Amino acid sequence: MALPPTALHSPAAERNSQVILDALLQWLPAQGVALEIASGSGQHVAHFSAHMPGWDWLASDPSAAALASIKAWRPQGPTPLMLDVRQADWALPASHHRLDALYCANMLHISPWPTCAALMQGAARHLAPTGQLLVYGPFLQSGIDTAASNLAFDADLKRRDPAWGLRHLDEVVAVALDCDLRLQSWLQMPANNLLLAFSKATANSSKAPL
């Protein structure tokens, strides 16, 4: 069935939805409550919700065009939230005030650096004690040569907006620790991306790595 004209299309989301889903199915329990930050086109949340029947997924984005697209991709899903991660109060509905998973893909490098702290602070507020913050995207890693394609991407981002750019993994981890979140595990993904799994530092962590 053809999608309405309000449906945005991300070729990257089309390519990576399944491989990310495969990782989530390994990492997450059979059921839970999840919030996606910066859902964009809505392709990820539509794909995940269709293949994770035990999970209650809620999408969010600060863009009205994105919210319309999310609804087009997932017409039977709950109304997505107009949410800027930098809001002091995310005003989540009661159903999603305590989250088993908080998922964010490809936001940190196309937003100002303070969004990283805002994401971590929101995760600290809203994750259940054993909840997971899952962050997907490209990162710079100390001691590891950055792929030429990622270097070119970083330069292009900075030309478009000096506040954008690939983030150093060590710096992201340090911001998370400031919010009592620690990097539990990470997974190398296609196209030089990483999937990072953070948990509350005080939580009992006995889960196997991704």
Q: What does the domain layout of the chain look like in residue ranges?
A: 13-196
With cut-offs at 50, 70 and 90, classify the pLDDT of residue 205: very low
Q: What does the mean pLDDT of the chain come to? A: 94
Has residue 190 got a pLDDT over 70?
A: yes
Q: What is the pLDDT of residues 6-62, one digit of tens each?
A: 999 999 999 999 999 999 999 999 999 999 999 999 999 999 999 999 999 999 999
Has residue 206 got a pLDDT over 80?
A: no
Q: What is the pLDDT of residues 49-102, one digit of tens each?
A: 999 999 999 999 999 999 999 999 999 999 999 999 999 999 999 999 999 999
Report the share of the chain in percent with pLDDT over 90.
Answer: 90
Q: Determine the Cα–Cα distance for residues 74 and 59; give it in Å rounded to an integer.
A: 10
Q: What is the mean pLDDT of residues 187-198?
A: 96
Instruction: Please give the pLDDT value at position 209.
Output: 36
What SS3 class is residue 79? coil
Kindly list the distances between the CA atom of residue 158 and the CA atoms of 13, 28, 115, 153, in Å, as whole numbers in the listed order. Answer: 22, 34, 16, 9
Instruction: Please give the pLDDT value at position 1.
Output: 57
Report the share of the chain in percent with pLDDT over 70.
Answer: 96
Architecture of domain 13-196: 3-Layer(aba) Sandwich (3.40)
Instruction: Please give the pLDDT value at position 3.
Output: 85
Between 2 and 13, the more confident residue is: 13
Has residue 118 got a pLDDT over 80?
A: yes
pTM of the complete model: 0.94
User: Burial, 161: exposed, middle or buried (Cβ in 10 Å; 0-12, 13-18, 19+)?
Assistant: exposed
Q: Give the single-character DSSP code of 193.
A: E
With residues binned 3-state (H G I as helix, E B as strand, rest as coil), the percentages for the chain, rounded to 5, are 40, 25, 35
> Which of 105, 103, 125, 122 has the alpha carbon at shortest distance from 114?
122
199's tokens: 């948990």
With cut-offs at 50, 70 and 90, classify the pLDDT of residue 196: very high
**H helix intervals, the chain:** 11-27, 43-51, 64-73, 114-126, 148-160, 169-178
Instruction: Please give the pLDDT value at position 203.
Output: 58
| Secondary structure in 3-state letters for 128-157 | EEEEEEEEEECEECCCCCCCHHHHHHHHHH
Instruction: Please give the pLDDT value at position 16.
Output: 96
Q: Determine the Cα–Cα distance for residues 15 and 27; give it in Å rounded to an integer.
A: 20
Has residue 204 got a pLDDT over 50?
A: no
